[in-house]
Amino acid sequence: MDDSMKPSRRRFVGAVATGLAAGTAATGALAQQGSAGSGNSGARKPLPNYPKPPFPKQQQPWPGLAGKMTPRPDHGETSYQGSGRLNGRKALVTGGDSGIGRAAAIAYAREGADVALSYLPAEEADAREVAELIRAAGRKAVLLPGDIRDEAFCKKLVDDAARQLGGLDILVSNAAKQHAVDSILDLTTAQFDWTMKTNLYANFWICKAAVGLMKPGSAIIVTASVQAYDPSPNLLDYAQTKAAQVAFTKALAQQVAEKGIRVNAVAPGPIWTPLQVTGGQKPDALEKFGADTPMKRPGQPAELASAYVTLAADDASYTTGQVYGVAGGKGNP
Ligand code: NAD
Ligand code: MG
């Protein structure tokens, strides 16, 4: 058996390749682990031994901090190696302080992009860690705290990002609200409104502002979810927004194709992030988080980075209106 076909590698490639050429995804996955890129001996590093359930009991007040999670999520801080795939690009990542957005932001900077981060003021500590990593990669970091449930703030956010970065050609619309409630009878209008405002309205306002100033060759990436296709009963409001984001992505992609803007989505499965320890999961479910996937564990944010890089990179120039699943082998079409 060829070394590249060992079962561990086959499983990894299968998990990340939905909707895209497996070769591209595999290249990204290996780069993430430091096996590709420049100045390497060529020896393959072992695959990371990511944590499996059971996880220790923990809850944080929303929006939570990655730095206070046990175990700490891996956002690629020590592992992601770039290879110039996004040299000179200007990116805005909403929710870039933690979780999947942080992994995308770190990877983008190491691939040569300047990065603006949107986050809530309560997440300043996480955001500063990411800014330091972006600067350590030799790129510009712009910090733009504020609440995206406000339309005027969303417009200003995009304008400020473009002004401070000197343009905008990548938007990762990734911020979201998730709060598990078992019964529709207990799901309040206030929560429903909060979820819709964050996941749908803000996504619309931010994408609209970005399209208004993006030039040909730009890319928008929306973070959807496996919940779009395989909704959990206690995520009634959230799952609807994720399904709507898939339709939004496919419709907008067609609208802006002739402007040279590509619009794609990533659909993660269970990923170990603050969203899950701040009410995204019920405390009991959190202990078993990810156990029901074929890999028997949640994904780490770092395992998403190559998807965001691939969808943003110029060599994905014919890929638009697509959904890239990263879900441990279950739930996406
Ligand atoms: P996360 O908590 O690290 O990131 C979510 C971010 O959203 C927060 O860091 C926060 O900055 C931002 N945010 C939320 N409300 C905001 C508001 N009102 N104003 C400004 N910013 C706000 O969690 P994550 O899991 O990395 O989430 C990122 C994306 O991934 C979300 O779209 C989520 O729906 C999606 N997702 C996550 C999972 C998972 O299992 N973690 C699975 C599928 C999809
Ligand atoms: Mg956060």
Which sequence spans correspond to the domains of the chain?
3-40+62-326
CA of 138 to the centre of ligand 1 (A): 26
- C-beta of residue 93 within 8 angstroms of C-beta of residue 172: yes
**Which stretch of 10-14, 228-232, 270-274 has the lowest confidence by average pLDDT?**
10-14
| pLDDT attached to residue 46 | 87
Distance CA 190, CA 279 (A): 15
pLDDT average, residue stretch 53-82:
97
Question: Ligand 1: which atom is nearest the Cα of residue 224?
Answer: 44
Question: Ligand 1: which atom is nearest the Cα of residue 278?
Answer: 2
Ligand nearest to the CA of 277: 1
Question: Ligand 1: which atom is nearest the Cα of residue 148?
Answer: 19
CA of 207 to the centre of ligand 1 (A): 16
Question: Ligand 1: which atom is nearest the Cα of residue 272?
Answer: 41
CA of 45 to the centre of ligand 1 (A): 30
Q: Hey, which residues are catalytic here?
A: 238
Has residue 204 got a pLDDT over 50?
yes
CA angle at 146 for the pair 145 and 148, rounded to the nearest 5°: 130
* Coil vs helix vs strand at 310: helix
Buried b (16+ CB within 10 A) or exposed e, 288-300: ebbbebebebbbb
Find how far residue 56's CA is from the centre of its chain. Answer: 24
Give the pocket of ligand 1 (CB within 6 Å). Answer: 63, 95, 97-101, 119-120, 123, 147-149, 174-178, 198, 223, 225, 268, 270-271, 273-276
| pLDDT attached to residue 40 | 61
Calculate the average pLDDT of the chain: 90
| pLDDT attached to residue 195 | 98
Output the CA–CA distances (angstroms, integers) from residue 32 to 41, 159, 198, 258, 302, in the order listed: 15, 31, 30, 33, 8
CB within 5 A of ion ligand 2: which residues?
97-98, 123, 274
- C-beta of residue 199 within 8 angstroms of C-beta of residue 148: no
| pLDDT attached to residue 232 | 98
- Give the CATH superfamily of 3-40+62-326: NAD(P)-binding Rossmann-like Domain (3.40.50.720)
| pLDDT attached to residue 7 | 35
End-to-end C-alpha distance for the chain, whole angstroms: 30
Closest CA to 234 of 276, 287, 191, 179: 179
Q: Which residue minimizes the CA distance to atom 33 of ligand 1?
A: 176
pLDDT average, residue stretch 246-274:
98
CA of 302 to the centre of ligand 1 (A): 15
Ligand nearest to the CA of 285: 1
Has residue 275 got a pLDDT over 50?
yes
Has residue 32 got a pLDDT over 90?
no
| pLDDT attached to residue 45 | 85
